[in-house]
C-alpha cells in the first residue's frame, strides 16, 4: 500500500499534559497540542493526543482528535489512531497511523474521501510533535 502525495507538515507544541491512572500500572497520557500546518491547507491546528504506554520497550496504541483552522476560513476536523514506539534516541517517540479528515468547505470536499497516513515524532523534552500526513492510496 503506497503512500501518495503529501497533504502537509505540522509543528505542534504541547500546552498541557495529564497522566490519568487506569488501575494497576496502566495509565493514559493526554497531551494538548497547538501549532501550524503547512501544505495543501495552511493554518493553525489544535488537538489532543491520547496514548496508552505500557512497557517502554514495546509499541503501544494512541488516538488523536483535532481541528485545523485554515487560513481560507475552512475548518477541517481530524481523527487519527495508530501505534507508537520509543525511538531509542533519548525520550523521543515515533507515531504512525491512519488519519481521517472531515470538512464542510466545498473547496476541500475531496478531503472527506481520503485516508491519510500519518507519521510523527514527539520529543517530550522539548514538548514538540512534528510530522507529515500523506494520502494513503
Cell of residue 33, nine digits: 497540542
* Mean per-residue pLDDT of the chain: 94
Strands (E), the chain: 3-23, 26-39, 43-51, 60-70, 75-86, 93-103, 115-123, 128-136
What global pTM score does this model have? 0.92
Q: Which domains does the chain have, with CATH numbers?
A: 3-136 (2.40.160.20)
> In this predicted model, what pLDDT tens digit does every residue of 25-46 receive, in sequence order?
889 999 999 999 999 999 999 9
Amino acid at each position: 500500500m503506497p503512500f501518495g502525495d503529501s497533504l502537509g507538515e505540522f509543528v505542534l507544541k504541547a500546552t498541557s499534559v495529564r497522566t490519568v491512572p487506569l488501575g494497576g500500572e496502566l495509565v493514559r497520557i493526554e497531551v494538548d497540542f497547538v501549532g501550524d500546518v503547512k501544505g495543501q491547507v495552511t493554518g493553525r491546528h489544535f488537538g489532543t493526543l491520547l496514548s496508552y504506554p505500557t512497557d517502554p520497550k514495546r509499541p503501544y496504541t494512541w488516538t488523536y482528535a483535532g481541528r485545523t483552522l485554515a487560513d481560507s476560513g475552512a475548518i477541517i476536523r481530524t481523527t487519527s489512531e495508530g501505534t507508537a514506539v520509543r525511538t531509542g534516541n533519548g525520550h523521543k517517540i515515533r507515531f504512525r497511523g491512519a488519519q481521517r479528515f472531515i470538512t464542510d468547505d466545498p473547496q476541500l470536499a475531496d478531503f472527506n474521501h481520503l485516508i491519510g497516513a500519518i507519521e510523527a515524532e514527539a520529543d517530550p523534552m522539548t514538548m514538540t510533535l512534528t510530522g507529515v500526513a500523506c494520502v494513503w492510496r
